[in-house]
Chains A and B, each alone.
Chain A
Amino acid sequence: MNRFVNAMWRAWARVDTWFNKVYPQDYNPMYYLGGLANLLFWLVIGSGILLFLYYKPSLLHAYESVEFLTTRVPYGQAIRGLHRYSADAMVVWVVLHFLRVWLTDRYRKFRTIAWISGIVLLVLTLTVGVAGYLLVWDERSLLLVRMTQWMVGGEQSYLGQLLVGGSKITDATLNRFLFFHIGMPFLMLFFLWMHYIRINRPVVYPPAPVTLQAFGIVFIVCGVVPTVSMAPAIIEVVPKQMQIDWFFQWGYWLAGVFAGAAGANSGVAPYVVWSIGLLLVTCLFFALPYVTQTGYMNVVKVIPEKCTGCEYCYVDCHANAIKMITTPEGINSKGGKRSIAEILPSRCAECGICVGACPFGAIELPQLQEIEIKDRIGLIANLPAPEPAASPAAD
């Protein structure tokens, strides 16, 4: 496993270096994957609100209203394309963000909460995206509904009925899908809050040049590849094939492959196969930070006698691992009334940024203390001095 991560990391580092040749370091888009994903999330929400103004969630009018929006409303085609392609782009950046965080070893210890909430966000992103395809109510929507029902055990099973709200597809079904598509982003907002909560100064948005570039690419794709619906859905006729959107619907393809491979011979129900597979993969990624947990061996220590309560370390700590507390005596080492720093060990990254921030030497890494660094600097005293004969000759 370590060897695999090492190999992937090396490949990633090469991509980074290549990007750094094209972009300045500060504006390298590979360093803003999460920020770009968040930016696109808001672009999707903005365009989605505009689409919602025209959408009618009923079997009779859904397809019609989408067509009206696309062909008759000024810039309707562009807004629809924006919604579609910025969602696609968001999936790309979310997955890249996930891979980068994993392969560069930024998911463990003090980052566990961000990792767990990130996995949930990834699953939610894909689910919300699929729910969006159901709303258009063309042949693809119907096929997706039928496939999902097949995956959860058939049309008449409990989950299959829960999905469409009864044993038959009715107007209420589309209302239900609309709720999935619009309600779940609110859940995403909650998990985004969890995603950022432990981070001091999270980079939520990329800088302006990166933002403009991302917007530009999405707008150009909107213009070049217009979004179109397939033929309207007729409930009795289940279509045989559709265009797969590989950003969102690869899960269906994968489920089909797994079920075909495992279920055909053994007689196991298809939904058993894919649901166990999905559960295993999700649990694996949930467990990853705990499996590779190495314990906290080098948590920084505050030396209370030296701490003046200046808050430099408190400001600089990126993991919110330092809090300022009032001293028992009510005064600090300088006799003032301000507080001193205290470390929250479970949040500590063991990076020593607070040590570098402290001008008073009041905070130390136990395994690399300042005295050791001073010893290394002092090595110069044991080494030969510059040759005296050479110094006048230099002038």
Chain B
Amino acid sequence: MSEQEPLTTRNPPMIIGFVCEWAGQLDDYLQADGFLTVLPTVQIVKVPCSGYIKPAWVQEAIQQGWDGAFVCGCAMVDCHYREGNIFLRDRMTGDRNPYLRLKGGKGGRRGVDPRQVRSFWHAGTGGESLIRQIHAFAEDLTGGSVPLGELKPVRRHPGPVLDVSPLNPTGPEPEPAG
């Protein structure tokens, strides 16, 4: 592996990420269409728990032409729903059904290239640090440097639930524009 061939010629690369709402707090960085503000080619799909993610989606994304795909969950053992991240970890490595088909692994020739897939596990806040990891992933995919916008620290409780209370059942009001 002296000279790693870049996996894509697109720069910045198109990446899709499935992110647990409790692990990655990217709300401050999200555009309306789901792309990040600081890395405009990274699409973020928020899911309630990393255990919800189907490995088939990762495979489908790569086959449809995304350059890379990643999943993000809470730190091992600390899953908000107790075991979701352990299940996903085992599915990504092929130890649990339904598993991700990896080239060279259980997936044979039809699987995806392991270099195009990555898993991130975050304890507590995964805002700024998660974006740095995505950025490193993007640079590994292209083999060159990828521009990154300005980061700011995250200041919100994870997950969607605490914003909703009996007094305010629909969640916080959207801030008025301007």
Q: How far is the CA of A177 from the CA of B49 in the complex (A)?
A: 48
* Min distance, Cβ A107 to any Cβ of chain B, angstroms: 11
Q: Is the CB of A353 within 8 A of B157?
A: no
Q: How many A-B residue pairs have CB under 8 A?
A: 156
Q: How far is the CA of A349 from the CA of B51 in the complex (A)?
A: 12
* Min distance, Cβ B104 to any Cβ of chain A, angstroms: 22
Say yes or no for A71: interface residue by CB 8 A criterion.
no
Q: Which candidate, A73-81, A236-244, A383-391, is the interface stretch facing chain B? A: A383-391
Q: How far is the CA of A251 from the CA of B14 in the complex (A)?
A: 59
Given A13-B123, A14-B124, A318-B82, does the pair A380, B65 have CB atoms closer than 8 Å?
A: yes
Say yes or no for A285: interface residue by CB 8 A criterion.
no
* Min distance, Cβ A111 to any Cβ of chain B, angstroms: 10
Q: How far is the CA of A12 from the CA of B125 in the complex (A)?
A: 10
Q: How far is the CA of A5 from the CA of B161 in the complex (A)?
A: 13
Q: How many of chain A's residues touch chain B, expressed as a range?
A: 35 or more
Q: How far is the CA of A26 from the CA of B75 in the complex (A)?
A: 8
Given A292-B165, A380-B64, does the pair A28, B77 have CB atoms closer than 8 Å?
A: yes
Say yes or no for B53: interface residue by CB 8 A criterion.
yes
- Could you tell me how many residues of chain B have their Cβ less than 8 Å away from some Cβ of chain A? 53
Most buried by B among A105, A365, A374: A105
Q: Which residues of B contact A318 (CB under 8 A)?
A: 81-84
Q: A294-B164, A365-B48, A381-B65 are in contact. List 15 more A-B contacts (CB 8 A).
A: A10-B157, A13-B124, A25-B75, A105-B80, A106-B80, A108-B161, A318-B84, A351-B81, A352-B51, A356-B54, A377-B61, A380-B14, A387-B9, A394-B6, A395-B5
* B contact set with A: CB distance below 8 Å: 5-6, 8-10, 14, 16, 34, 43, 45, 47-49, 51-54, 57, 60-61, 64-66, 75-78, 80-84, 87-88, 91, 97-98, 121, 123-125, 155-159, 161-166, 169
* A contact set with B: CB distance below 8 Å: 2, 5-6, 9-10, 12-14, 16-17, 20, 25-26, 28, 31-32, 104-106, 108, 199, 201, 203, 291-295, 298, 312, 316, 318, 349-353, 355-357, 359, 365, 368, 370, 373-374, 376-381, 383, 385-387, 390-391, 393-395
